[in-house]
Amino acid sequence: MRIFPALLIAVPLALGQSNPDLSGVWKANAEKTKMERPLGDTGYYVWVQQSGAVIKEKTLLMGAHFEQRSEAAYDTSAPETTNMMRGEKMASKATWSGGTLSIDTTGHMEGHEVTIKEKWTLSPDNKTLTVARDTGRGEDTIVFDRQPDSESSVFTGPPRMAKDVYLNVKELDVPAYELGEVMQNFTHALGVNCQFCHVRGKMDSDEKDKKVFARTMIHMTHGINQDVFKGKFKVSCYTCHRGQKEPLIRPAETAEAMTH
């Protein structure tokens, strides 16, 4: 008869060991959060959708004058999952241990090798999600409060436009969260860095002629697509620039021959 009580105990124990469900809409609590760069008025949202071993994460940082979004998915049953972060491929290993989700991510960012280690813990009352993040350069502790599911509308609703969010955007007709990617494309298209057009720390300033000229170029490029290609996105900065500041007017060897 002894075997029965043992079995009865074993079943609840096994159930108790099932991993927490982190699904929900979460918003960082600025007072309880400790980050290298304090959050201030920035709204920091995470939307987690967990189903079996797969955990999908959408992130939204909403400042008065900036916005950033990202998406990632992790599979705790796979040896590794890859995600794109700011145009770079990052490899993550996600594992559960004692109710805590660990996500170790490695890859390259702006030419540097980076390792990010995160530990996600759900409070016993399911109302608080704490993410401890070690970037190798510093440690952040982000305390998220559970929001009603209806708050997912911050992710699914119409996005704020760059012109309405940034201080001095006049030509670009894109959602605010896409501005960063557009700027990355400019640097790649011309083979330059941000400071070619911008004064460091004063991105809204029109001090540099290159930036003012770039605005004319945005207008021209948009005009070509509008007028010639019926509004389809066919011509970009890269089409002419090909990684150069000054596009070639004829093949390089011809230009060379003509100057001799």
C-alpha closest to that of 199 among 209, 191, 188: 209
CB-based burial, 85-108: b 16+ in 10 Å, e otherwise: beeeebebbbebeeeebebbbebe
Which residue, 151 or 171, has its beta carbon nearer to ligand HEC?
171
Pick between residue 151 and residue 206 the one whose CB is nearest to ligand HEC.
206
If one asks whether residue 88 binds ligand HEC (CB under 6 A), the answer comes out as no
Q: How far apart are CA 158 and CA 156, in angstroms?
A: 7
Smallest Cα–Cα separation from 247: which of 224, 217, 223?
217
Residue from 31, 110, 246, 256 touching ligand HEC (CB under 6 A): that is: 246
* Rounded distance between C-alpha atoms, residue 12 and residue 15, angstroms: 5
211 in contact with ligand HEC (CB under 6 A): yes
Closest CA to 25 of 59, 64, 54: 59
* 167 counts as binding ligand HEC under rule CB under 6 A: yes
Count of chain residues binding ligand HEC (CB under 6 A): 37
Q: How far is the CB of 168 from ligand HEC (least distance, A)?
A: 4
Q: Residues 226 to 245: which contact ligand HEC by CB under 6 A?
A: 235, 237, 239-241, 245
Site residues, ligand HEC (CB under 6 A): 65, 166-172, 179, 183-184, 186-187, 190, 192, 194, 196-198, 203-204, 210-211, 213-215, 217-218, 221, 235, 237, 239-241, 245-247
